[in-house]
Structure 1
Amino acid sequence: MLTPTLAARWHALTAPLLPDTTRREAELQRLADAYDAPERHYHTLGHIENLLNRVEAHPLQDGVVVELAVWYHDAVYDALRADNEAKSAEWALAFLQETSLEPTRRERVADLIRRTQDHTQPQPPADSDLLLFLDADLSILGASEAAYWDYARQIRREYQLVPEELYRPGRSKVLAKLLAAPVLFHTPALRGELDAPARRNLQAELNAWGQDGLPE
């Protein structure tokens, strides 16, 4: 749900780049409609707000670029497609071409979005903004046990069109890949806070899929 606080954050971010209030309002509504779609249960505006809170709590080299990437990184989300990140990046670029943001920074927003496609890939170790953005996107993995199970059930609902006999091995493969990654969280602060609980949560869900499935 689009709250007044979240709307205010959008306008504070974009007003310096685009004075046209009507156009900013229209884009915000378009994003809100996408994130509030009925088939979404985890990839919602709540996820966006959580990420904004995460990244704003740490120093950034280019906070505008990172926050724009947060807003757009799941703008396109179809659980049955593999090009969500690319399509989300295209959406961001289309809007940013209407703004005063420099072309190199527009492309930087798009690159951050594209890199969320696979969090297990090696990343540039000196790119602190990218690493924080990726860590924030994965932060749910290190949530409390109750919050993690809520997340796992929300993801299952987003894949409700996938039958259990296909979802179970597919989800298990994703969990095993994350567990096998030598690094889940790149930034020291978030690694110290989230790595151990994330691995416990991932292992617990993997175990659950090997037995009776997710707890109610």
Structure 2
Amino acid sequence: MPDTLAARWHRLTTPLVPDAARREAEFQRLTAAYQAPTRHYHNLQHIENLLNRVEAANLQDPEVVQLAVWFHDVVYNALKSDNEARSAAEALAFLKDSALEPARQQRVAFLIERTADHTQPQPPDDADLLYFLDADLSILGAPEAEYWAYARHVREEYRLVPDLLYCPGRRKVLAKMLAAPVLFRTPQLRAELDAAARRNLAAEIDAWDQGGLAAS
């Protein structure tokens, strides 16, 4: 039987926070945030998908990367630009009195903050960071039907924004990613996902140029 998210959370955090009640309260707070009615893509399924990838990867500090996965989208307001900074702050608040060394606590925050713009330059030798960022973008290289479900879910998260404003904004984001010389920075995920991701991005740009996303 696959591990539940609760089991995975407690296995990760028990060595860091011996207080079971505090761990459980934080888990309930995280799951409530990711299950908010405004969440359509940035939800618990997204967290589970990322955990599946990073838990299977050969990372230098898997504990830190897994913590970053859990917290990286805990604050998500589609109309705000400080989600990553606030999510990093929430991770630090939970870890403040934990057994995780202060430098590694800051490392968790750093990983989260780097998800603000996947096209920004990244430290080329930071293998854990690059894998974490690639995993976060892995939906772009998903099979076609899964990608279009993702695109519609993101649109739902911006449902308060009319198409007149959403279309050029979304198109700009997609075009910036498509134009990036390197979309996935790890050889493994580049080989697995890059070609499909570029097809998906180009197809969504074309859909917006043609008037919008088709209904599911």
The bucket for the TM-score relative to the shorter chain is over 0.9
**Residue 134 (structure 1) aligned with residue 133 (structure 2):** yes
How far does the alpha carbon of each residue in 1:164-212 deviate from its partner, in whole angstroms, 9 at most, with x for none? 1000111000000000111110110100000000000000000000003
Alpha-carbon separation, structure 1, partners of 2:86 and 2:207:
33
Corresponding residue number in structure 2 for 1:172: 171
Give the TM-score, by structure 1 length.
0.98
Gapped regions of structure 2 (runs ≥ 5): none
Corresponding residue number in structure 2 for 1:123: 122
Q: CA RMSD in A?
A: 1.0
- Structure 1 counterpart of 2:154, one-letter code: I
Corresponding residue number in structure 2 for 1:110: 109
- Structure 2 counterpart of 1:159, one-letter code: Y
* Ranges of 4+ aligned residues in structure 1 off by more than 6 Å: none
Corresponding residue number in structure 2 for 1:54: 53
Question: Residue 199 of structure 2: SS of its match in structure 1?
Answer: helix
How far does the alpha carbon of each residue in 1:104-153 deviate from its partner, in whole angstroms, 9 at most, with x for none? 00000000000000000111111100000000000000000000000000
* Displacement after TM superposition at 1:98 (Å): 2.2
Give the TM-score, by structure 2 length.
0.98
Corresponding residue number in structure 2 for 1:147: 146
Alpha-carbon separation, structure 2, partners of 1:182 and 1:150:
26
Alpha-carbon separation, structure 2, partners of 1:185 and 1:176:
15
Corresponding residue number in structure 2 for 1:161: 160
Percent of aligned positions that are identical: 71
Question: Residue 138 of structure 1: SS of its match in structure 2?
Answer: helix
Alpha-carbon separation, structure 1, partners of 2:91 and 2:16:
14
The count of aligned residue pairs is: 214
Alpha-carbon separation, structure 2, partners of 1:146 and 1:99:
42
Gapped regions of structure 1 (runs ≥ 5): none
Corresponding residue number in structure 2 for 1:209: 208
- Structure 1 counterpart of 2:152, one-letter code: R
Corresponding residue number in structure 1 for 2:93: 94
